[in-house]
Chain A
């Protein structure tokens, strides 16, 4: 495992085995390991969700994911960090994203893990489509990108 963090982010096409994180992060100098899993839940904003699909632009997602891990290595007193994000179709209860951090002491591991998942959600070119029980589907976060009135245009 490369300790710089740059190569410890990847995309997965099938179920994530989070036990690999324990092997990857294992370090005799570390007394703390925080692993966060983001799961596919059956509801969002009052609507029943049946399944999800993630679409990623892999070259930029991999690069930016590595940069986020590298930032965490620099900002917090941690020894190792790794993260993986799913792409494609996901069923309920599956892990969509897993972040793992190991450090000498727990405070830094908790803080770094929180930093990494928040940055992943805001910065990676990954889009989520929710399929609902009523048969409809919607790209999350894109409701506001369809402006109802022309004067709502920002850039045209």
Chain B
């Protein structure tokens, strides 16, 4: 069994997610093991995020998988689908 440890995670929201969360950055004290779990947890905290499905994410400025294990002190960036150009 995985050990549950409370971690401190810095979260950054972008574009549509930032507007739905109402903040650009926040600090989460969380038991979430993965980015997917953290996203689900944040949807409960920010109901306006509820309709959104997860798109892309980066951890510490590197693109990452939703199943990646979070570490204490990670900075998690939630990206909506991109639309440059």
Contact = CB atoms under 8 A, between A and B. Distances in A.
A127 B54 contact: no
A153 B58 CA distance: 19
B47 interface: no
A156 interface: yes
Interface in B19-54: 19, 36, 39-40, 43, 51-54
B61 A38 contact: no
B43 A127 contact: no
Give the interface residue-count category, chain B.
20 to 34
Contacts of A147: 51-53
The 6 closest A-B pairs by CB, nearest first: A127-B15, A126-B84, A121-B85, A141-B83, A155-B54, A139-B16
Given A139-B15, A148-B51, A156-B43, A117 B80 contact: no
A145 B52 contact: yes
B16 A142 contact: yes
Given A142-B15, A146-B52, A155 B66 contact: yes
B79 A121 contact: no
A117 B43 CA distance: 34
A76 interface: no
A144 interface: yes
